[in-house]
Amino acid sequence: MTELNWLTATEIADAYAERRLSPVELVKALIERINALDGKVNAFIKLDAEGALDAARQAEKDILAGRTRSPLHGVPVAVKDIIDIAGLPTTCHSKVLLDNIAHADAPVIAHLRAAGAILIGKLSLHEFAFGGPSAELPMPFARNPWATEHQPGGSSSGSGAALAAGFVPLTVGTDTGGSIRGPAGLCGVVGLKPTYDLVSRQGVFPLAFTLDHIGPMARSVADTAILLDALAGNVPGRAFGAELERGVRGLRFGFVRHFHETDMIADPEVTAALAQVVRALTSEGAQVQEVRLPPLKQIIAVQRVIMHAEAWAVHAKWLRERPADYTSPTRRKLLSGVFLTAGQHVHAQQLRGPMIEAVNSVLRDVDILICANGMDPASRLDDAADMARTYPRQARAPFNLTGHPALAMAAGFTRAGLPLSVQFVGRANDEITVLRAAAGYERATNWSARRPPMQVVAGLAAE
């Protein structure tokens, strides 16, 4: 059997069914790995070892008795520390909420419990899903397991890092301007921002009400689909992975080349990886044509106005009363909302409609869009200038504005061994086709089988 820490959720479910593995055995192995290695990765804010072991013992009894609830029964899941789990802190990685204990489960957590998943802990993030890596944070910021001197993306930084480090098979993140897809891309895993409002936002601390999304992250497309089933409420007769085996033959892809070739010129290794994505899909029988959307910077500008205005509305009271409890990067970003007027917010919302229609129009002629995710490989954490330069260079925010489902996954590696990525974007409420396309590409390339170099992992354990 594959090392326990690298098993996918699908493999775990099969191993349970065949009595080759028990939930208690798996959870103990993951806790041991987290305790040994997370001191250098910093993926977890709160590891709930006791709660996870209790849940594992109950899951073991249920599975042995034939009471398996779903493919996630007995599978460990960790969630971004912006989502309420009853009895655990929801800190949002901020001094402002260090003592904030959740009194009830968010609906997404209730759905996971109903599916039998084991909640193993809360994961690191950018402060309030908006700041960035900072020494001012109350807990250490997450690092990229592929090279710990590099950043793992944000704001669901711990969610991506925990998967890449082999700490847990599934994580839950949030995405307001790309915060699931950024870490997925830089950590070489899969992250899906579902259609707006497909997954409940209740019990999740808001950043921008009309842009926030909650979604699954995993090391495989199949696991992403299974986790989305649970997060969305396991509706009878609906399975988001229903077409994973169909492949891409016959699918029509629209390649949004201008995003990374002219609107925001990507790093050459990113450009080369995207060209290879197109070649791989074509060789598998897909049809690929070039398409155009509104200019990338124009779409992002509209998304930014809405995000900053809504974020200020959420934080205005605390920023007036206790500004020193925010880190400098978060405070600086939030305060920019002070200077936006109601009229500017309304105007941005008016521009939003035509941009949604522009994406819808293109998706009437093609089934899936292909575009860049981030424009650069992961920058070094000690290079403030490069961090500032590369963080805004992305093509994720447009689909928070429009609400379309968007999935990011590995599309190769740099010469230095850092992950590169691609986005697949689909019609509203057509996650099934997005996941089908991603699964077809995953099988054609097998990038998902790559793991961080073992000397890095060994180095973490030894240091």
Active-site amino acid positions:
80, 155, 179
Cα-trace Rg, the chain = 21
Q: Helix, strand or coil for residue 32? A: helix
End-to-end CA distance of the chain: 28
- Pairing type for strands 190-193 and 406-413 reads antiparallel
- Specify whether the backbone of 354 is left (phi greater than 0), alpha (psi in -120 to 50) or beta: alpha
Report which secondary-structure segment, H or E, holds 333.
helix 328-335
Strands 368-371 and 406-413: unpaired
Name the nearest CA neighbour of 376 among 401, 395, 362, 348: 395
Q: In what order do the strands lie in the sheet with 419-426?
A: 44-47, 118-123, 76-80, 170-175, 213-218, 190-193, 406-413, 419-426, 368-371, 252-255, 287-290
With CA atoms as reference, report the closest residue to 403 among 197, 192, 183, 185. Answer: 197
Question: Encoding tokens for residue 429?
Answer: 């409420």
- 291, containing H or E segment: none
Distance CA 317, CA 363 (A): 41
Q: Residue 50 and residue 70: Cα distance in Å, rounded?
A: 23
In this structure, what token pair is assigned to residue 427?
A: 């019609």
| Peptide bond before residue 134 is cis, with ω within 30 degrees of 0 | no
Structure-token pair, residue 9:
């959720």
What is the number of alpha carbons within 13 Å of residue 453 lying toward its C-beta?
11
SS3 112: helix
H or E segment to which residue 253 belongs: strand 252-255
The span from the CA of 363 to the CA of 240, in Å, is 19
